[in-house]
Structure 1
Amino acid sequence: MSYLRPALVLLLLFTALTGLAYPFAVTGIGQAFFSAQANGSLVERDGRIIGSDLIGQAFTSDRYFWPRPSATSAADPTDPTKTVDAPYNAAASTGSNLGPTSSKLADRLTASSEAWRKAGLSQQIPGDAVTTSGSGLDPHISPAFAKAQVARIASARNMSEAQVRQVIETATEGRTFGLLGEPRVNVLRVNRALDKLGS
């Protein structure tokens, strides 16, 4: 009994500390000081949630900036033992896991490159235009990828290319703390900025 009582007391104490007090404290601090981030960095329009700053979306209209490819998948509705492509499926965040010798990867890169050429991108195609991110949910593209889409968007919206470039410049985020990562453009945010111009 002399060993059992301290063990039970410590079990209850640490259950209360790590299972109740700590989670409640972290949740409370998050809600008090970082409410938007703690709730998923959600983006609203007219009181309706239209997305998140953290999860990409599959924009396909010529009027919008297109995101980088996504490797996420979902269960095949006709055969649950198989999967089908489901771009930006937040419930199945994953990379493609295809190596440099994969014929499937080579075929996908070739098809993506051809699709970009048909869309009018005759210059060098940025790497993030044809490659997926590690999560499959990356909401950002490089400024080079954004600029490569200027002519298509300007034509679809009857805007000048200079106006579209200005939207990109305004939406470009720098390195975190000036050191970490690369300059990037959040696709959802830049597309919202285009819509606000009303073209």
Structure 2
Amino acid sequence: MKQILIRATGMLAAMSVVCGLAYTLLVTGIGQVFFPWQANGSILEIDGKTYGSQLLGQPFADEGHLWGRIMTVDTSSFTDEDGQPVMYAWASNKSPAGEEMEELVAQRVEALRASNPAMADQPIPVDLVTCSGSGLDPEISPAAAAYQVPRIAAARGISEEEVQKIIDQYTTGRFLGIFGEPRVNVLQVNLALDGILKEG
């Protein structure tokens, strides 16, 4: 029994070092060497000012910006050691077949139609009225972006072609041409609309 305990303890210690320390250092090192921007949060910093992460959604509500997916976030429950609010996100636990979810979607549809009367007779893409699993999805479908073009163009006093050109620039296709779906990064489009993110 004593030998078994010694071997088990030794194996536990060895695996803790290999899996908990060596592997972590190796993966972190590879990330910092080959993918430093991605490994450090894909932060969009322009002229020394940080605008957010390309991988996390941000709320935009004014008429002249592209709106992202519904965000499920809370900033009132927790604070950090300095008393500042801490934001966290979670997936919605509402059943897609439930009345509460149906009412929420109906309210969102009504608000979208009211904000974009030029598209009143067009179907609304589902990602504009539902949240993602993370509640912080930074991207929407090209169809969801295209639905908003008339509203953005009218609010900014520019042509729909100009707005669509910016959206196209920040649209990513399927990975390797076959995996996933095309998607539009909301933050990048809005920074480009504001003239902060330049072409190229």
What is the TM-score of this pair, normalised by structure 1? 0.84
User: Counterpart of 2:114 in structure 1: which amino acid?
Assistant: K
6-15 vs 36-45, which moves further: 6-15
- Give the direction of change, closer, same or farther, for the CA distance of 1:107–1:32 in structure 2 (3 Å limit): same
Residue 21 (structure 1) shift: 1.5
CA distance in 1, matches of 2:67, 2:176: 27
The Cα offsets for residues 88-147 of structure 1, whole Å up to 9 and x where unpaired, read as x8623x221211332211111110010011112312111111111111111111111111
Partner of 2:193: 194
Partner of 2:171: 172
Preserved CA contact (<8 Å) 1:128 1:141: yes
Partner of 1:81: none
* Structure 1: segments with no counterpart, 5+ residues: 78-88
- Give the direction of change, closer, same or farther, for the CA distance of 1:178–1:3 in structure 2 (3 Å limit): same
- Map 1:87-106 onto structure 2 (within 5 A): 91-92=88-89, 94-106=90-102
Percent identity of the aligned residues? 45
Aligned-residue Cα RMSD (Å) equals 2.1
Partner of 1:36: 37
Partner of 1:137: 136
- Map 1:81-160 onto structure 2 (within 5 A): 91-92=88-89, 94-120=90-116, 121-122=119-120, 123-160=122-159
CA distance in 2, matches of 1:8, 1:71: 44
Residue 152 (structure 1) shift: 1.2
Preserved CA contact (<8 Å) 1:63 1:157: yes
What is the TM-score of this pair, normalised by structure 2? 0.84
CA distance in 1, matches of 2:154, 2:139: 23
CA distance in 1, matches of 2:129, 2:20: 44
CA distance in 1, matches of 2:92, 2:12: 43
Preserved CA contact (<8 Å) 1:63 1:156: yes
Residue 48 (structure 1) shift: 2.3
128-137 vs 45-54, which moves further: 45-54
**Is residue 10 from structure 1 mapped to residue 11 from structure 2 by the alignment?**
yes
Preserved CA contact (<8 Å) 1:72 1:96: no
* Structure 2: segments with no counterpart, 5+ residues: 79-85
